[in-house]
Amino acid sequence: MNLLICFGTRPEAIKMAPICMELNKRKIPFKLCVTGQHKEMLQQVLDFFDLIPDYDLNVMLPNQSLNTLSSRILVEMDKVFEKEHFDLVLVHGDTTTSTLVALAAFHRHCKVAHIEAGLRTYNKQSPFPEELNRQLTARISDFHFAPTQKAKNNLLKESVNESSVIVTGNTVIDALHITINKIENGYSNAFIENLNETINFNKRVILVTGHRRESFGSGFKNVCEAILEISKKHDVEIVYPVHLNPNVQNVVYKRLAGKDNIHLITPLDYPSFIWLMNKAVLIISDSGGIQEEAPSLNIPVLVTRETTEREEGVTSGCSILVGINVNKIIHEANRILTADKVNDKMTNPYGDGIAAIKIVDFIQNNILIND
């Protein structure tokens, strides 16, 4: 059985790293292919987790369209399948890489296992194009590793065969535990040292991120307006590692640069981001991964999206869906920043840090054994 792991963006790499580590631990051979949909932001993760790709398709072009990206992935993946035979490919989540790699594998009669399967909003425009990517990847996949029971239920409603759906928790929690453990054991790096020098940690820290395509334009402008207002009203430090997508960079730097208590910085590498997150009192973000990580660190997240496929976080009280509504963002931030009581420690609905073990157990006992 020839196994291929394939991913292309920062969050996929973070969430696939624990699986690669578990396979290595059990000496199960596999090849690693990165599409390079992301470049710098992907390399940061590969470096931290010591992952060395066997194939790098290097498909990133500045600000390329989804169709160009998709076609480049299909063509380059075909060359990989031409060169080497694979029986099973593991893809992750909802990116263009996941769906196009799954399709390329299907065309080559290679089975597909989908990690982080079953997340749904059932709104094709939100998140765009991720919701459709997830649904397409589910149709192609032979095995579905669902992070939660809710995700499994979504797949069953779509008539996916129950025996092919395995609830595992989300591997992002495994990655978080690995990283926090390193930090607690003294890990540091240049990013962390720089943050220590430039941010006044005697003040409360608000962490901001954003990158969703459906918010390009007016959505990002609204979020910036709200952040500006919060920065004037409260004695806080706002730290915003700005995503490298030019559609994000242009708006954010134009509206928020040069303000005393707003720090616009380059994307942080994963361990320094977790280090900083751990110091924040509030996060304002549209990120999927951050909605999953935050409950472990007990930090409320204002989710700047109209919908979320991560409703478990909303139900547990960690995530608050504020959309891209300026007043709502300001109101919820005020409420949290003026509350006397911090949230009670919550259990993380997305897992307990052993998702990769469960995934590799299943692959070893049910897929490799039948080979």
Binding residues for ligand UD1 (CB under 6 A): 9-11, 37-42, 60, 62-64, 66, 69, 94-96, 129-130, 211, 244-246
User: Which of 168, 209, 304, 308 lies at the binding interface for ligand UDP (CB under 6 A)?
Assistant: 209
For ligand UD1, give the closer residue by CB, 97 or 231: 97
CA distance 239 to 261: 8
Does position 288 interact with ligand UDP (CB under 6 A)? The reply is yes
Does position 7 interact with ligand UDP (CB under 6 A)? The reply is no
Q: Cis ω on the peptide bond leading into residue 300 (within 30° of 0)? A: no
The contact pattern for ligand UDP, residues 121-160, with x = CB under 6 A and - = no contact, is ----------------------------------------
Closest CA to 227 of 333, 321, 300, 337: 333
For ligand UD1, give the closer residue by CB, 36 or 349: 36
Q: Which does 5 bind (CB under 5 to 8 A by kind): ligand UD1, ligand UDP, none?
A: none
Q: Which does 96 bind (CB under 5 to 8 A by kind): ligand UD1, ligand UDP, none?
A: ligand UD1
Distances from the Cα of 121 to the Cα of 127, 146, 234, 308, 314, angstroms: 8, 15, 34, 6, 14
Does position 268 interact with ligand UDP (CB under 6 A)? The reply is yes
Does position 211 interact with ligand UDP (CB under 6 A)? The reply is yes
Does position 14 interact with ligand UDP (CB under 6 A)? The reply is yes
Decide if 211 is catalytic: yes
* Catalytic residue (choose from 211, 234, 243, 263): 211
DSSP symbols for 262-306 = EEEEPPPPHHHHHHHHTTEEEEEE--HHHHHHHHHHT--EEE-SS
Instruction: Give me the residue label for tokens 């070893």.
Output: 364
Q: How far is the CB of 154 from ligand UD1 (least distance, A)?
A: 18
CA distance 20 to 16: 6
Instruction: Give me the residue label for tokens 């990158």.
Output: 211
Dihedral sign from CA coordinates of 18, 268, 310, 33? negative
Which residues pair with residue 302 across a beta bridge? 284, 320
Angle CA 75–78–80, to nearest 5: 120
Please identify every residue annotated as catalytic.
211
Binding residues for ligand UDP (CB under 6 A): 10-11, 14, 172, 209, 211, 241, 267-268, 270, 273-274, 287-290, 293
